[in-house]
Structure formats: C-alpha cells, structure tokens
Structure 1
Amino acid sequence: MKLIDELKERVKEFKTDGYPMSIGEIINLYENREIIINPKFQRYFRWTDFQKSRLIESIFLGIPTPAIFVYQREDGVWELVDGLQRISTILEFVGKLRDENQLTSDGKAIIMPKLKLKATKLLPSFQDVEWEDEPTVDSAIPRSLQLDFKRSKIKVEIIQKESDVNAKFEVFERLNTGGTFLSPQEVRNCVLVMLREEWLVWLESLSKLESFQNCIPLTDRALDERYDMELALKYLGLMRYELQGRDVTDFLNDCVQDLFNVANIANNTEFENFKKLFDLLNAALGESSFRRFQGQKHTGRFLDSAFEPITIGLGSNLSDYDLSNSKDIELIKEKIESLWELPDFLNNMGSGSNAKIRIPRLIALGKIHFKK
C-alpha cells in the first residue's frame, strides 16, 4: 500500500530519543557549551518579564512544562531546536544567559542581567525577587528553593545525529508555525540560521534596501515580525517556482529550503536585479507602488495582491527598462496605474480572493502587462 511505503520511508528520517533532565544539568550543559542556543535566535526572544515569571512560577509549583527539542550534532553537542524562550528564561533567571552578540575586550560573551521576577496571581511575593548565588536578603530566592528549582525536571527530546539532515528543520517548523510568539517569517529565519546563516544575512540585506522599504509602507508591527523579509522571499520564490495550488505559507516554507539549501541564489546578480527592480518602482511611485489607484490618486494601505503581479511582472521584464531613462520611469507609473482599469486585475483583487487562484492569474497578467 502506498501510504504504508511512504510512512516507512519517512520514519527512517527521524531517529529520536528522550528523557527528563534536571534544570541543574541543563544549566551545566549550557555553561560547558554542550548545548548551544544559536545567538541569532536571541533576537526572537520576546517574552515579557511577566511571561517569564509565569514560567518560573510553573516550575516552582511543579506544573509540567512542554518538552524541549535538541538536535545532536556529529560532535555530540546539542543544538536547541525548540524551547528557546523557556531555556533562555531559566538561564536569565539564574544569571547564566550569555549575549553572544556582545563581547568583552577579551572576546568573551557578556552575561545578560538577571531576571527580576514580577508578581503572579498565585505567587504575588515574586515581585522584584531575583536569584542570588549567596542569598542574604529578603529579595533573593532562598537557598532551599534554589535547590528545588535546580532539581526540577524538563523532558528533553533528542533528534539524533543519524536522522535525516532536514529533520531538525521539519521539527522546528512543525512546532512553531502558527505559534503566538513567532511570526511565520521569523520561523523561516530561524530555519535559515540552521541551513546557512549567510543566506539569512543576505535575505535581510535585500529587505533593508532603502528603495524596497520606501515602496512597502508597512506598520511597525509588520516590520517587527519581519514581514518585509517575507515579501522579499515571496518575490524570489514566485520568480522561480509556481504556486501549484499550495497555501502561500506552505509555499514560502518550501522556498526557504528550495532557494537557500539547493540553489546558489545569494549572488551579486540576484542582489543587483532586486535593487534595480525596487529602484525603478521607487522612482516611479514610491510608497504608492502597491496601493489602490482610484479617482486619479493612490489611496489606502499596502496590498499583497498588487505586490505580486507588479513585482513579478516588472521583474520578468526588467531588462527592458533603464533607471536613467525618465520615459521608462513614466511608463512604469502608467502601467501600474492602468492595471487598476483591467477587469481581470480587479476581479482577482480584494481580501476575499483565494490566493491559490489569485496569485497565478495575476502573475500571468503582470508578465504580459509590463512587456514594452
């Protein structure tokens, strides 16, 4: 049976083990660099002090916490795949969390300030309490409670080194996609760190281009969740692959590995083409490039359904346009504005449109529309 054969094949890709470990053991592994938290992940450590305090409260009260997932490398070191916020909170609480992005003069990572707890519903006396190695004041966790804390256990699920090389990416994506603390693009960024960190740096450099940022007037929240990087990834993906009926989120998740794990996309030509595209759009319409055109003016917010056909349409015909030619700039402006008069374009716009149907139709339209 085909299903049984598929399951047998996929199961071979995941070799796992798991057992409870004391918090004290996990702290020791971290101090000895036998468990690694990738420093790039720390930008996604976004819990508030109250959320952190709730986790510490749960541990003290003996409330079970979800398992953490680690990937065992060939050298035996564990890479933390899922559980960043929990493990980072514990390390911050006991004063052991390193900031690998800030080094001392002798090249050692700076230790981040200890977490000062906030009052919780069940433990209001948590307010302003912190961990002290030699607790001598009322605001310190008593020694007996410190020992209880270190002896508390967390389940550790180990993705063993015999697993398929993509197993840790699959686990991370499954556990985090749709979560409340990481946006879909932040999950992809973490996966990119696992794949090849320089790819993430390159994608981020695209998203920071001034002309690109000028053309995508996003909210602060969208920028904080790295939606600008998602748009850059969407452009790169749609220029190369067809959606083929996939959900856009699934398509972009696949693009992370297809683009950056297989193709050598991070090159100067790719960068210059991306830059030229958004330099042209910025010169033509700037922040109005992807806004609705109606009544002789652009209004409203940034629209994904305009971004897709305009960028892929113009990008597919990029060699036809010259940034130094004012007539080309004016032509791009006219073509974007004339899109809003086309019934095929308007009929596929709007929040109620199905992206699986909308995107292929609008991209095909855009490729034709932006031909000279």
Structure 2
Amino acid sequence: MKKLKEIPAKTEAEIALAEEQIVDLSKRIEFYLTEYSVELLAGKMSKGEFVVPAYQRAYTWEEDRKSRFIESLLLGLPIPFLFFWEMPSGKLEIVDGSQRLRAIAEFVLGDLRLGELDSLTALSGFKFSDLPESRQRKINNRSIRGIVLNEHADEQARFDMFERINTGSKIANKAEVRRGALAGAFMDLIVELATAPKFEALAPVSKKELDEREREELVARFFAYSDGLTGYKDRPSEFIFNYVKQANVRVVDDPALLDQYRGRFIETMDFIERVFPNGFRRNDKGKATPRARFEAIAVGSRLALNERPALAQEAVPDVLPWLTSEDFIKVTGSDGANAIARLRERTGFVRDKLLGA
C-alpha cells in the first residue's frame, strides 16, 4: 500500500500568522441581528426606508413564485434571513431579499392575488384584503429575521458579504454587487461601455445574462487583465474588485485617464470588429460569449495593440484558421480557466498570433 505523505506540524509562527489574519479580517465585519414584523417590512418598503440598489436585479419573480413564497409565509415555514447594509442616512440598502420584500409589500399593501397553491388550496385566488381582519393581523404580526452590516464596514467587507450570500447562485452577481459596492467614475464608464451598440453586437449574451449584467463583467475583466496581472492570485473576483476600486481613485486624481480608458476600449473593439468575423462568438450563428474566449480575444488583441500600435490600421491575415484550431480550443477550455497560467496562455496565444509570432 502506498504510504501517505506526512504533513509536518504547523510551526508556532504559522499558527500565530493564521490567528493574526483571522483577528484582522474579522474586524472588518461589523453587523447586528434584527427582527421585523411583516407589517413593518411592508411599511418600510412602501416608504422607501428599504433601498433597492441599482445593482440589484429588477423585480423578476413570476406570479407563481410570489404565490409560493406567500404560502410559505402563511404556513409559518422558515424564511431565509434578510441581509442589509446600513447606509449613512440610516436607511437600509437591501443586499439580499429584495424579491421577498417586494412580494410581501405587493401582497400586504398592493393587489397581489395568490395563484394556485399547493397546500393552502382554499386560499387560491385570494388577496390580502379578502382575508378576515383577524387573519390579516396574524400575518402582519409574523416576523422575519435580518442581518445588518453597519455603515463602518469597508467596501471589501460589503463585497465579501454580497458574494458569500450569493455563493452557488448566478455568477454574474459579482458584477451586480461590484456595481453597488464600488460607485465611482470608472465604474460608471464600465456601465457605459457595456451598453455600447458595437460591443453589444460583438458580444451577444442571453436575456438572462443581460439581466445579470454579464457585459459589465466582461468589460471589467478586459480592463483588469489587459492592464497587467500583478497581484493576481487565481481569484478573479477579488482581483477585479481591487482593480476597479483603484481605478476609481486614479480617475479622480487624473480625470483625463477616463478618456484614455474609453479610447483604449473603443480602439480594441474597432480592431476586433475588423479582424474577427464572428466577434467573440464561436461561429457566425453563435448567440453566446464564452468568458475564456472573450478574454483571449479582447485582452490578447489589446496586448498586441500595446506592443504594435500600427496594428490598428494594418492588414491582418485571416484569423479563422487558428481560431478554429485545436490549439485555440485547448487554451480557451474551462479546466482551470481562472488560473493565472491559463489566463496568460490564452491571452498570449492571441497576442502572438496577431503579431505574427
């Protein structure tokens, strides 16, 4: 039997370092628990005391899902915690739970009529106002617990909480929460460029991905990766967060940088439109933009233009032969896609092909 490799015991220095890191990072997470009645939640929603931030998804729950949630509430089933961030104004920004809160407000204060219910079948078709006052009071008295990250928590702490709450959910939440946690001129530029008609044509995404701000994620990756990977540790979310945060500061100190960033992106998209027949799609009928493929083409093109600016006007040999090659398919595969070696491999592949290396 093969002997397992023994792992040496941790040294006192390693243990001390681990403890110091736990203490240091824990200081950034300041929160308190709270509990609100349904009546209070609905009232705060209607009065604007709970703020639905711009990065949160629109009210997307379909009628059946709203009905199922209200049924769970009526049955007294456990409701997941609500998460908030306490704004300097004292209002609470909804981090997680906006769909639930909007459904509650629509039912208690609006005209939400329940659909076909699985358990409470006799309540199908009911509105809140159809219920007797005694039942209305009982519903209003039900409570839901919440966690509030207070205003002293820094941006990274907020982002960490946003991301961890959404672990296992849609990956584009990273773009949504980054937009909320990092308001600033550079973040505004990312939003602007993500909706540029040319970019929309080059980088098709599904309706679902569009709602999740996938194009904003792609633009952020373009800038972060093409500016260099110093400090990248195979965790793209953290790397991009720090890049956008620093870029927000840079453009405040030097407003002219904003036009430079914009020009860099536009020049690259013009080049890709001219040289790559299918944009970021796999073929002319493609309706998706795979991230690894986007990074290879967009960042690789930018790196080539940085090295030889005249390439923007030069004639470039047909790229389709190597775009459809096994080598390109291999470097844009999903295995270990976020590892720095793979990232450099795929962007360097396109850069070298464009430069004729």
Aligned partner (choices 57, 71, 74) of residue 60 of structure 1:
74
The answer to whether the 8 A contact 1:185-1:229 is kept is: no
Residue aligned with 1:155, SS: strand
1:352 positional shift: 4.8
Cα distance change of structure 1 residues 335 and 243 upon mapping to structure 2, 3 Å threshold: farther
- Aligned pairs for 1:164-203 within 5 A: 164-179=154-169, 183-196=170-183, 199-203=186-190
For residues 146 and 367 of structure 1, what CA distance do their matches in structure 2 show?
A: 65
- In the alignment, does 2:348 pair up with 1:364? yes
Q: Which residue of 2 aligns with 1:105?
A: none
Q: Which residue of 1 aligns with 2:86?
A: 72
Q: Which residue of 2 aligns with 1:211?
A: 198
1:31 positional shift: 4.1
For residues 269 and 3 of structure 1, what CA distance do their matches in structure 2 show?
A: 42
Q: TM-score, normalised by structure 1?
A: 0.77
Residue aligned with 1:205, SS: helix
- Aligned pairs for 1:337-352 within 5 A: 337=320, 339-340=322-323, 345=328, 347-352=330-335
- Aligned pairs for 1:140-155 within 5 A: 140-155=130-145
Aligned partner (choices 88, 98, 102) of residue 84 of structure 1:
98
What is the CA deviation profile of residues 262-281 of structure 1, one whole-angstrom value per residue up to 9, with x for unaligned ones? 54468222112211211222
Cα distance change of structure 1 residues 251 and 141 upon mapping to structure 2, 3 Å threshold: same
For residues 51 and 127 of structure 1, what CA distance do their matches in structure 2 show?
A: 13
- In the alignment, does 2:228 pair up with 1:237? no
- Aligned pairs for 1:1-372 within 5 A: 1-38=16-53, 40-41=54-55, 43-95=57-109, 114-132=111-129, 140-179=130-169, 183-196=170-183, 199-242=186-229, 246-247=233-234, 250-260=235-245, 262-263=247-248, 264=250, 267-286=258-277, 288-291=278-281, 302-318=289-305, 320-321=309-310, 325=313, 328=314, 330-331=315-316, 334=317, 336-337=319-320, 339-340=322-323, 345=328, 347-352=330-335, 354-356=337-339, 357-371=341-355
Q: TM-score, normalised by structure 2?
A: 0.80
Residue aligned with 1:44, SS: coil
1:178 positional shift: 2.4
**CA root-mean-square deviation:** 3.1
The answer to whether the 8 A contact 2:175-2:213 is kept is: no
For residues 44 and 359 of structure 1, what CA distance do their matches in structure 2 show?
A: 33
For residues 117 and 161 of structure 1, what CA distance do their matches in structure 2 show?
A: 37
The answer to whether the 8 A contact 1:117-1:127 is kept is: yes
Residue aligned with 1:13, SS: coil
Structure 1: segments with no counterpart, 5+ residues: 97-113, 133-139
What is the CA deviation profile of residues 77-134 of structure 1, one whole-angstrom value per residue up to 9, with x for unaligned ones? 22222211111111122236xxxxxxxxxxxxxxxxx3221121101233332233xx
1:175 positional shift: 0.1
Which has the larger displacement, 335-344 or 228-237? 335-344
1:311 positional shift: 1.5
Which has the larger displacement, 250-259 or 118-127? 250-259
For residues 335 and 214 of structure 1, what CA distance do their matches in structure 2 show?
A: 20
Q: Which residue of 2 aligns with 1:103?
A: none
Cα distance change of structure 1 residues 2 and 260 upon mapping to structure 2, 3 Å threshold: closer
Q: Which residue of 2 aligns with 1:136?
A: none
Which has the larger displacement, 28-37 or 307-316? 28-37
Cα distance change of structure 1 residues 350 and 3 upon mapping to structure 2, 3 Å threshold: closer
Identity %: 21
Cα distance change of structure 1 residues 308 and 302 upon mapping to structure 2, 3 Å threshold: same
